[in-house]
Every structure is written in C-alpha cells, then in structure tokens.
Amino acid sequence: MPRGFRGFRAHCWASDGLGFGLAPDAGYTVTITIGPDGVPHIAGLSTSYPSLEVWEYGGSESPTLVYQYDANKAGTGPSNLFGLLIPVGPK
C-alpha cells in the first residue's frame, strides 16, 4: 500500500443451505483504503442480492454511510444470485 495509506479487505461468501447446500452463495469482497486526506475509498465485487452498506465509525462524530447498494431499489432478489457479480464502489 502506498505511503500514508491504510486499509483492509473484507471477504464473505456463504449459502443458506437451501436444497441441501445447492443454493448459490451470496457475498462480497471489498477493499477499503483510507488515504492521507482521510477519505475512505471502496472497491470490490458483490452479488446483486442482498443489499450492502459500508459505514464509517470513529472519533466523536456520528457514524457515516460511506457506500450503499439497495437490492430492493435495484429490483433484485434471491433469483439474481445466479447472475453476474456487480462492482462495489463509487458510481
């Protein structure tokens, strides 16, 4: 990672076991970096269902919503787990 940057990667993929483990996985792989300017940068991939939010907590300020994907607004549901992954990050 470049000097002055810090960050981490969050990764989670799982199935609910429906159909004796035949249900598709839902999940995400997201990398969050924070540059010297203190602004979080988000990049990665996720399934289009369910919804995904990234919040920033810290200091004395209230939590800040940094990224939001609303599956309901996008019109996606469990059947979309069979589809392609979608990018996570700025649009």
Answer whether residue 90 is part of any domain: no
Domain containing residue 69: 6-78
pLDDT by residue, tens only, the chain of 91 residues: 778 889 999 999 998 877 777 888 999 999 999 988 888 899 999 999 999 999 998 878 899 999 999 999 999 999 999 989 999 998 6
- Asked if 68 and 42 count as a contact pair (C-beta separation under 8 A), the reply is no
Answer whether residue 88 is part of any domain: no
Please choose, from the candidates 55, 8, 54, 51, the residue with its C-alpha nearest in 3D space to the C-alpha of residue 27: 51
User: What pLDDT is stored for residue 18 in this prediction?
Assistant: 74
In total, how many domains does the chain have? 1
